[in-house]
Amino acid sequence: MKLGIFGGTFNPPHMGHVTMARAAVEQLSLDKLLVIPAGIPPHKQLPVGSANTRQRWEMAQLMAGAVGKCAEARDMEIHREGKSFTSDTLLALREAYADAEMWLLMGSDMFLSLHTWHAPEIVCREANIAAFSRNEENERAAFEKQKAFLEQTFGARVAILD
């Protein structure tokens, strides 16, 4: 089974998220895609007036429905105490999907900063990385450099998607 994992604040989810998710399902031939809103995002603080956790969860469910039949929203990070570290989520998913080929989906900013995340070695060990590029020339060069760094440093398996 090929399992996609798409996490984020989803504050709010938008058509870019839906487009990325659909592209990942198609380009990676995913059997299932999990949309997982962060409870407490470790990379950024939610602005004042943002949707609350329940509202973001409800929007993630709507987003999963817009992606298609293979997508479903999961509330596992919302119920976890403390910051929503991707490494913890991937370890929990590995228990549930022991034999799955897991693909972690991410956009430019997250991909280019992945090496600074909490436990990047666990992230890179537990899941393949599917990074979405906007096809801008300077971004493509940065992506190739980051891909090589993650592969050398953490043994990551990286696919750059459009």
pLDDT digits 0-9 by tens, 83-131:
999 999 999 999 999 999 999 999 999 999 999 999 999 999 999 999 9
pLDDT, tens digit, 9 for 90 and up, residues 4-45: 999 999 999 999 999 999 999 999 999 999 999 999 888 778
pLDDT, tens digit, 9 for 90 and up, residues 56-95: 999 999 999 999 999 999 999 999 989 999 999 999 999 9
Q: pTM higher than 0.85 for the full model?
A: yes
Contacts 24+ apart (CB under 8 A), 109-116: 110/43, 111/143, 111/146, 112/142, 112/143, 112/146, 113/43, 114/146, 114/150, 115/146, 115/149, 115/150, 115/153, 115/154
CA distances from 60 to 8, 23, 148, 154 (A): 10, 17, 32, 30
